[in-house]
Amino acid sequence: MGNPDIQRLNSGSGQYKEWAAQTPDIATNGAQRIFVNSKTGRAYYNYDHYYSFVEIELKGWG
């Protein structure tokens, strides 16, 4: 769905917080990440190391 500005993700601007998505069957963190825009609260899942972003709808949070 949505696609955050990849330049801002990599610029160190601090607008996006990033977490590695742990996968039980994989020993390393791999390429999966969760990003949250600290200004808007919009969240994204990335499964292919910063190439594609899928917006996550966070219902019932905040």
pLDDT by residue (tens digit) across 9-61?
A: 555 567 888 888 777 776 666 678 888 888 888 899 988 878 888 999 877 76
Residue 44 in domain:
yes
Q: Please give the tally of structural domains in the chain.
A: 1
Alpha helices in 1-62 (DSSP H): 6-10
CB 38 within 8 A of CB 15: yes
Q: pTM of the entire structure?
A: 0.65
Q: Which of 43, 39, 45 is nearest to 61 (CA)?
A: 43
For residue 9, the SS3 value is: helix
Residue 62 in domain:
no
Question: To which residue do tokens 């019932």 refer?
Answer: 60
Residue 61 in domain:
no
Secondary structure element (H or E) that encloses residue 20, with its range: strand 16-20
